[in-house]
């Protein structure tokens, strides 16, 4: 049974899920931003310059968990997270996923002057702040008037890697969740280990080359 452990008590994950749902409801009702929509498919074309100086156009498509509007009229992309720990704060200002979400909302942003604020945020449903709300990790709104922005530069680098097919594995924290761990050349036990010589190779080698 999914929701009960062998002692008959509710599974701890069920309790965590309930707490996360309660935090989400508090967030939904108490946030100063207005909920607009959820799970909408968004797409946009982005012009980027690769590190080699070539121009490229990238079609971005994706779903954003929620789109909200702050009191000044700015749209804010929200990604709901269900992880046990929040993303390190230092990674939020250039968090790639949030940056892509800001690009997806770029064309819908109001042209009127808006207050400085966040353009996207992770809402950590399993991490509570001191007020009992889910921890909100906001990314400052990207000023797309000052192109190329950090996210456009990052996409330009990605475009160059894909066009050149030069995929160099760089070990990092992501390795823990990577689906390619077993075939990654940076990991021990990779399937690309050299094979031992076959029996007939050993025989040929011992007998010497008949054409000598």
Does position 178 bind ligand SF4 by CB under 6 A? Answer: yes
CB 169, CB 178: distance < 8 Å: no
Residue 33: φ, ψ to 5°: -95, 155
Choose one: 53-61, 79-87, 127-135, 178-186; the region binding ligand SF4 (CB under 6 A): 178-186
Q: How far is CA 42 from the centre of its chain?
A: 16
Strands 118-128 and 75-81: parallel
Choose one: 5-13, 44-52, 101-109, 170-178; the region binding ligand SF4 (CB under 6 A): 170-178
Of 85, 91, 155, 160, which Cα lies nearest the Cα of 124?
Answer: 85
Does position 96 bind ligand SF4 by CB under 6 A? Answer: no
Of 185, 160, 158, 149, which Cα lies nearest the Cα of 170?
Answer: 185
Total of residues contacting ligand SF4 (CB under 6 A): 11
Binder among 32, 39, 174, 209 for ligand SF4 (CB under 6 A): 174
Does position 184 bind ligand SF4 by CB under 6 A? Answer: yes
Residues contributing to the site for ligand SF4 (CB under 6 A): 169-171, 174-175, 178, 180-181, 184, 186-187
């Amino acid at each position: 049974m999914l929701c009960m452990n062998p002692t008959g008590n509710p599974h701890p994950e069920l309790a965590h899920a309930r707490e996360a749902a309660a935090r989400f409801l508090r967030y939904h009702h108490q946030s100063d931003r207005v909920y607009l929509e959820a799970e909408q498919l968004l797409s946009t074309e982005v012009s980027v310059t690769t590190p080699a100086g070539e121009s490229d156009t990238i079609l971005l498509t994706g779903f954003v968990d929620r789109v909200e509007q702050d009191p000044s009229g700015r749209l804010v992309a929200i990604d709901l997270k269900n992880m046990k720990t929040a993303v390190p704060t230092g990674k939020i200002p250039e968090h790639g996923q949030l940056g892509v979400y800001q690009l997806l909302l770029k064309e819908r942003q109001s042209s009127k002057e808006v207050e400085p604020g966040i353009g996207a945020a992770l809402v950590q449903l399993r991490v509570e702040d001191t007020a009992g709300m889910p921890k909100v990790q906001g990314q400052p709104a990207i000023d797309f008037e000052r192109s190329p922005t950090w996210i456009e530069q990052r996409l330009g680098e990605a475009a160059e890697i894909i066009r050149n097919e030069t995929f160099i594995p760089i070990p990092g924290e992501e390795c823990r969740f990577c689906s390619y761990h077993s075939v990654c050349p940076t990991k021990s036990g990779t399937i690309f280990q050299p094979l031992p010589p076959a029996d007939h190779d050993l025989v040929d080698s011992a007998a010497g080359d008949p054409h000598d």
